[in-house]
Amino acid sequence: MRKKRGAGPSIPADFIRLYHEFNEGEISMNKFLKFARSGSIYGFFAISCLFTAFLSTCNPFICTQSAYANESSDEIFSAGQRGFELEEVLPHNELLFTQGLSYFEGRLFESSGLYGLSCLSSRILYSTRPVQSISLDPDVFAEGCTVLGDKLYLLTWKKHELQIRDRESLRLLETRRYAGAGWGLTTDGRSFWQSNGSDSLFQRDIENFRIKKRLRVTDGGKPVRLLNELEWAEGVILANVWRSDRIAGIDPESGRVLFWLNIGDFVREESARGGGVANGIAWNEKDGIVYVTGKRWKNVYAIKMDDE
């Protein structure tokens, strides 16, 4: 049978993916509503999901968190903006729901989330074709990842499991348990730094992943919440703030935001193409380059930060 002209996404796989993304705030209401009007039974279910989401806004916590996440960075934060130059634009696989990004010796290592769709991959900078790629178990929602030595470390969202994998083959070697949600992960070479979506970062032991220090992140005396993907660069921690167009540069000793990188132009360009939130930072120390991307973005943007 010939597919009807203008037919929507396949059912039910694409619906499940879209619902996950809408529920996590990663796609717009318009995109989800378009599917809801498809006329199928899944479209009817989508409408009921929207109604449930509307009712949930009566919860004061949800209202407060959502409003905070979408406020203008200029209105919330006081640290200065650090300039940067766009060096080049690199290709990115638009199917990846990017949760973590790490650079090592000319390759990008990337974790992609969602239940049943999570995967890990490594690739060279100028190609979207992976050098190595593996799918994760359907009960794993992949989160932040980082490379240290010959291993790759991967957080999981709600499974409370740090996965330690071989850097080259991505084969699982062992796991560590931890409490709470996993969001972003990076390393300074001596410790891990982890976020959980709050205003705190956790310094963790390299060997056993136990907490060594809790660092509360502030700017102008105000807590900076929804800290997400992390990267260590130039002695500071770079952090995406969920649903924001700013990257925070955080002092690992005091937790104070030292500067902000405004990547709003990239976010708007990718959003116009249907991309999700900014999420993905990797540091190329040799060339002084920061790579930034987002969920289902078409591009990775290579930037060089101005001297402070």
In-domain check, residue 70: no
The pLDDT value recorded for residue 106 is 94
The pTM assigned to this predicted structure is 0.79
- Domain membership of residue 114 as a residue range: 75-305
Distance in angstroms (rounded) separating the CA atoms of residues 235 and 293: 21
The pLDDT value recorded for residue 35 is 53
136 and 18 both lie in a single domain = no
Q: Looking at the predicted structure, is the pLDDT value of residue 97 above 90?
A: yes
**Residue 152's CATH number:** 2.130.10.10
In-domain check, residue 4: no
The pLDDT of 241-264, averaged and rounded, is: 96
The pLDDT of 259-269, averaged and rounded, is: 96
In-domain check, residue 67: no
What is the DSSP pairing of strand 191-195 with strand 200-205? antiparallel
In-domain check, residue 154: yes
Q: Looking at the predicted structure, is the pLDDT value of residue 7 above 50?
A: no
Structural domains in the chain (count)? 2
Distance in angstroms (rounded) separating the CA atoms of residues 224 and 107: 31
Report pLDDT digits (tens) over 286-308: 999 999 999 999 999 999 999 87
In-domain check, residue 256: yes
Q: Which of 152, 159, 307, 182 minimizes the C-alpha distance to 234?
A: 307
Report pLDDT digits (tens) over 99-143: 999 999 999 999 999 999 999 999 999 999 999 999 999 999 999
88 and 144 both lie in a single domain = yes
The pLDDT value recorded for residue 308 is 72
